[in-house]
Amino acid sequence: MTTERECDQLLVERVQAGDRRAFDLLVSKYQRRLMRLVSRLVHDPAEAEDVVQETFIKAFRALRHFRGDSAFYTWLYRIGINTAKNFLVTQGRRAPTSTEADAERAEGFDDADSLRDINTPESVLASKQIAFTVNAAMEALPLELRTAIVLREIEGLSYEEISEVMACPIGTVRSRIFRAREVIAEKLRPLLDIPADKRR
């Protein structure tokens, strides 16, 4: 039986041998997954789409260097994340890093507290408010934390795969995912009515 990774590698080898149509098949397979990832980093859909297109162009140009040491999709995701980061920088937007200062800034996010003041009794807080809080907390996360949790929770990558995509040790992946969850959980806490002394 051929695994997904082996199937991708066969297509990659066909592109490397001069078959352009094989790359179209890879585009067809990964365009929506790549959009899902990139749209979590670049929020404007049109801009995200530009980043996706640029990612595929870069991947096509670099494919002759690809040896298959890692899975094609982890390599492609890495290009996508780098392209998104570069896009944010050239747009003059802050591409947050995982510095302590950024983490503190993320932890200072207080929309969840504001939500409690919108005349909505805690007992009937709608799931939409919870979803809003999760998404707002996500957007406030430093880019490294956001990327790590998206790759895990949405893309379903293993820590090893994420370490390849993000070019960092597995321990750092574990820590980034945990920190992302902690920050989001802290913002959710007022809505879920979890006493603070139960979490510390």
Checking phi first, is residue 92 left (phi over 0); if not, alpha (psi -120 to 50) or beta? left
Q: Is 39 in the site for other proteins (CB under 8 A)?
A: yes
Measured in degrees and rounded to the nearest 5, phi and psi for residue 54 equal: -65, -35
Q: Which of 34/102 has CB closer to other proteins?
A: 34
Smallest distance from other proteins to CB 157, Å: 10
Buried b or exposed e, range 43-54, using 16+ CB within 10 angstroms: eeeebbbebbeb
141: three-class secondary structure by DSSP: coil
Alpha-carbon 47 to chain mean position: 16
Is 17 near other proteins (CB under 8 A)? yes
Residue choice 64, 92, 117, 119 for contact with other proteins (CB under 8 A): 64
18: left (phi over 0), alpha (psi -120 to 50) or beta: left
Contact stretch for other proteins (CB under 8 A) within 91-99, 100-108, 114-122, 157-165? 157-165
Question: 112: which 2 tokens?
Answer: 């969840």
User: Does 9 interact with other proteins (rule: CB under 8 A)?
Assistant: no
Q: What residues numbered 81-110 form the site for other proteins, per CB under 8 A?
A: 82-83, 86
How many residues of this chain interact with other proteins, rule: CB under 8 A?
A: 68
**DSSP states of 17-86 as a string?**
TT-HHHHHHHHHHHHHHHHHHHTTTS-SHHHHHHHHHHHHHHHHHHGGG--SSS-HHHHHHHHHHHHHHH
Q: Which is nearer to other proteins, 119 or 134 (CB)?
A: 134
Does 131 contact other proteins by CB under 8 A?
yes
User: Least separation, in Å, of the C-beta of 111 and other proteins?
Assistant: 15
Q: Does 79 bind other proteins (CB under 8 A)?
A: yes
Helix (H, G, I), strand (E, B) or coil at 150: helix
Q: How many CB atoms lie within 10 A of CB 59?
A: 24
Closest approach of other proteins to the CB of residue 28, in Å:
7
Name the site residues for other proteins (rule: CB under 8 A).
16-18, 20, 23-24, 27-28, 31-32, 35-36, 39, 45-46, 48-49, 52-53, 56-62, 64-70, 75, 78-79, 82-83, 86, 130-131, 134-135, 138, 149-150, 152-154, 158-159, 164, 167, 170, 174-175, 177-178, 181-182, 184-185, 188, 192, 194, 198-200
